[in-house]
Amino acid sequence: MTDSSNTMWGGRFAAGPDAIMEAINASIGFDRRLARQDIEGSRAHAAMLAAAGIVSSKDAEAIREGLLTVLSEIEAGVFPFSTALEDIHMNVEARLKEVIGDPAGRLHTARSRNDQVAVDFRLWVRDQCDAADGALAALMRALLAQAEAGADWVMPGFTHLQVAQPVTWGHHMMAYVEMFARDRGRFADARRRMNESPLGAAALAGTSFPIDRHMTAEALGFDRPCANSLDAVSDRDFALEFLSASSICAMHLSRLAEELVIWSTAQFRFVKMSDRWSTGSSIMPQKRNPDAAELIRAKIGRILGATVALFTVMKGLPLTYSKDMQEDKEQVFDAADSLMLALAAMTGMVGDMTANPDVLRAAAATGFSTATDLADWLVRALGLPFREAHHVTGRLVALAEGRGCDLPDLSLSDMQGVHPGIAQAVFAVLGVENSVRSRTSYGGTAPDQVRAQIARWKEALA
């Protein structure tokens, strides 16, 4: 017979309310990822306590050495994590006492779990900013290699996914270099702003012990201590900024992934994805599915979802710490994992993909892609106002469309029937190669401009 007192809790929590409270309160299931940062912060704190005369040098050294022992156990996968001890901080401290005895009890002098978790989490997010920066640099190098190989390859540029004007493959690749460079800037900017140490803010009001917060800040690689103890323990802007930068970066990855999905179709054939980043079909033997690109395209959902989730957690919290903040880490951990995986996969795909220059060039020559070049020639050669040149070009496009041909296929007499001033020289601007070579303005698609940008970025990434 089922115990009616436990029916409401379900089978998982047969022990009743106490089991549910332990489950909802414990964070060790996920915050164990902060172990290295927790021990790093504790070792810095112990050294400062000794320097300030708050604990003896002997006890501080025992604490610092004992923490290294605990860290080695965690890294070896033999550490006995306990849900009953709630979090990584209490798990480490309890094990430290087993390793070194009574001196372990002095470690928590002049600090609280509030400033402890704040410094651990900040250190972890700072590390993720550095990791994202390195991964983005690797992706940019892969794009630069593609750009350099195809600086002269002509392809269609699109607006509304309709053929607009010819561009070069190198120019298209370099557009993503610029995007991902901005992402690096956002992570670097967020890192600079988060690089203040909460350690020593204690529970919320600081401490009466004569601590040296500048010493611990320097030991942990921070620029300075946080200037307000209330803000120090309650701030999660650093996590929100990391998530925001990650969301924008994931959006850029999704845009590139979408292009790779489209370009690898039989209808486009712009690129061929390597077997390493494609899968087959369980029923259709001819299929080569760009699964890696599609999964990258989907990662924005998880990362942006994490961003919205943490904003929602934080939006109504009064100063200072509230247990709600325990819900900050899983979102950030998942987003960081998703971003790093997506960056690594995209770097691999870009490095391995093979463009098809002949198909790119043929596609660039369709859709009246040199119409703007024709309009520009009418302005330069005949002195027409651009709006009139635009109108004349539109009539010529309509004429070519009606005949089922492209602009270069019209005869000179056909063109002069629309505007008598058009001369044979117009045909020099209608080829797609001529079109891209003419776009010599700074940042334009002309191969020389593309190579200049490639050289600039190669030097910057060196």
Look at residue 146 and tell me whether its pLDDT is greater than 60.
yes
Compute the average pLDDT of residues 5-17. Answer: 52
Compute the average pLDDT of residues 339-367. Answer: 95
Look at residue 60 and tell me whether its pLDDT is greater than 50.
yes
Look at residue 1 and tell me whether its pLDDT is greater than 50.
no
The pLDDT assigned to 286 comes to 54
Look at residue 282 and tell me whether its pLDDT is greater than 70.
no
Pairing of strands 271-272, 154-159: unpaired
User: By C-alpha distance, which of 332, 281, 287 is closest to 122?
Assistant: 332
The pLDDT assigned to 19 comes to 79
Compute the average pLDDT of residues 131-135. Answer: 98
The pLDDT assigned to 337 comes to 97
Compute the average pLDDT of residues 314-339. Answer: 95
User: By C-alpha distance, which of 331, 206, 353, 356 is closest to 266?
Assistant: 356
The pLDDT assigned to 20 comes to 81
Look at residue 283 and tell me whether its pLDDT is greater than 70.
no
| Per-residue 3-state assignment (H helix, E strand, C coil) for the chain | CCCHHHHHHCHHHCCCHHHHHHHHHCCHHHHHHHHHHHHHHHHHHHHHHHHCCCCCHHHHHHHHHHHHHHHHHHHHCCCCCCHHHCCHHHHHHHHHHHHHCHHHHHCCCCCCHHHHHHHHHHHHHHHHHHHHHHHHHHHHHHHHHHHHHCCCCEEEEEECCEEEEEEEHHHHHHHHHHHHHHHHHHHHHHHHHHCEECCCCCCCCCCCCCCCHHHHHHHCCCCEECCCHHHHHHCCHHHHHHHHHHHHHHHHHHHHHHHHHHHCCCCCCCEECCHHHCECCCCCCCCCECHHHHHHHHHHHHHHHHHHHHHHHHCCCCCCCCHHHHHHHHHHHHHHHHHHHHHHHHHHHHHHCEECHHHHHHHHCCCCCCHHHHHHHHHHHHCCCHHHHHHHHHHHHHHHHHHCCCHHHCCHHHHHHHCCCCCHHHHHHCCHHHHHHHCCCCCCCCHHHHHHHHHHHHHHHC
**How does pLDDT run across 164-199, given as a tens digit for each residue?**
889 999 999 999 999 999 999 999 999 999 999 999
The pLDDT assigned to 293 comes to 94
Compute the average pLDDT of residues 35-51. Answer: 98
Which range (125-129, 219-223, 298-302, 437-441) has the least confidence?
Answer: 437-441
Q: Which pTM value belongs to this model?
A: 0.90
More confident of the two residues 221 and 13: 221
The pLDDT assigned to 169 comes to 98
Look at residue 7 and tell me whether its pLDDT is greater than 50.
no
* Marked catalytic residue, from 5, 160, 411, 413: 160
Using pLDDT thresholds of 50, 70 and 90, give the confidence band for residue 21. confident
More confident of the two residues 290 and 167: 167
The pLDDT assigned to 280 comes to 59
**How does pLDDT run across 200-256, given as a tens digit for each residue?**
999 999 999 999 999 999 999 999 999 999 999 999 999 999 999 999 999 999 999
Do residues 67 and 40 make contact, with C-beta atoms less than 8 angstroms apart? no
The pLDDT assigned to 29 comes to 87
**How does pLDDT run across 195-213, given as a tens digit for each residue?**
999 999 999 999 999 999 9
Percent of the chain at pLDDT exceeding 90: 80
Compute the average pLDDT of residues 395-414. Answer: 91
The pLDDT assigned to 139 comes to 98
Percent of the chain at pLDDT exceeding 70: 94
Using pLDDT thresholds of 50, 70 and 90, give the confidence band for residue 284. low
Tell me whether residue 56 is one of the annotated catalytic residues: no
Tell me whether residue 172 is one of the annotated catalytic residues: no
Compute the average pLDDT of residues 7-11. Answer: 48
* Marked catalytic residue, from 56, 72, 82, 281: 281
Chain mean pLDDT for the chain: 92
